[in-house]
Structure 1
C-alpha cells in the first residue's frame, strides 16, 4: 500500500569484573583495558551493560520507575563522565543507538509512549566530547535514516486511510523539520508542508507531491 514515501526508510550499575589473572601472552597483555573492567554489551544497547559510543566512551542504562537512567563512562577505567535521565511510558521496546543522520556519531533513541500504531521517540544526540543532549522527539511507527539524503524519516498513521511521512535534519540545535507529506486515500489527496529546513534540502516540492498522488 505504501511506497518509499511511507515505507520503512525504514545504570543497573556498572559491572566491574574481578581482578584478572596475569596474562599468559603478549596479545592478552595488549588487550584494551575496558575489555577486562567493564561488562560490555554483546550486540546493541542493553540494560546493565556498556555499549561503546566512541573509541573511548560507552553508555550504560537502567530502568527506573517510569523512566531510564543513563551514564556515559570512560572505557579505560569506568569513570562516570555524564549522567542523565529520561521518562518512558508504555512503549514495548527499549532504548537503542543508531546513526540517524549518517555523520558517524550514534544517536540515542528512547521510545516513550505507544498509542494506536504510533510511538513517541525521544532523540538524544552526541555533541562535543561524545556527551549527549536532547534533540527533540518524533512520533510514528517507523523511524529510519535516509542513507541517501542524511535526513531522519518517520512514517505515521492517523487512521486507516490517512498516512504521513515526516523528515527532519539533525543540527547542533536539535531536530529541524524538512517536510511533512500527508496522504488521504479516501479523498485521493496529498498535502505537502514545508519546514524551516526545506529550502536548503535537495527535495523538489512538485516531485514529492506527484510521487505521493501517483500512489493514491
Structure 2
C-alpha cells in the first residue's frame, strides 16, 4: 500500500492546493451561516473525491495490471491525462491577470451569502468531483493507485489517504476559523486575496509539474 500512497501523493497535494475551493470556503466563513455551510462544503468536497475514486477503482482496478506489471492502457491513460494537464497549465498561465489588474473570480462566488447547507455541500462536491481541473487530478491519483495491483481493500485505504491529503487545503481555513474565531478573520482575508490574485499561476504550475510527471510515468510504462 505504501507504493500506492507514494504514487498518488503528489497528485493529492495538487488537489489540496487548488485555490478556487479554498477561496470559496473562506468566503463561506464570512457569512452568518459559517458554522453550518463551511463543514457542509468540506463534506461535499470529500464526497466528490470519494465518488471519483470509487468509479475509477471499480472500473480500472481489476484490469489495471497484467501479471505483475501495469497494463498498457494505464500508460496511455497517464499520457492522455498528462497532456490534458499541460493544456490546462498553458490556458491558466495565458489567462493570468496582467500586472496591476484584479483577478476575475467565478460569478457564483457573489451569491455565497445566500447559500444554505445543501447548496454548500453540492458546491463542494461539484468543485472536487466535476470541476475539470480537479477531476483530472483525482482520476490521475486513483489510476496511480489502481496500477499498483494491490488488493481492493488496500486500494480503497490508499485512496482514502489521497482524499484526506486532497482535502487539507479546504479543511485548513475551517480549522483556523473554529480554533481562533474572530481572530482568524484578517488571516483568512489575506489568504483569500493572495490566492485570488495568484490563482492562475498556482494552477498553471501545479498542472505543469503533475502533467510532466504523468507523461514521464507514461513513457516509462510504454517504453
Which structure dedicates a bigger proportion of its chain to strand? 1
TM-score band, normalised by shorter chain: under 0.3
Q: TM-score, normalised by structure 2?
A: 0.19
Which structure dedicates a bigger proportion of its chain to helix? 2
Q: If you compute each CA radius of gyration, which structure gives the higher value, 1 or 2?
A: 1
Q: TM-score, normalised by structure 1?
A: 0.19
The structure, 1 or 2, with the larger RCO (C-alpha pairs under 8 Å, 6+ apart) is: 2
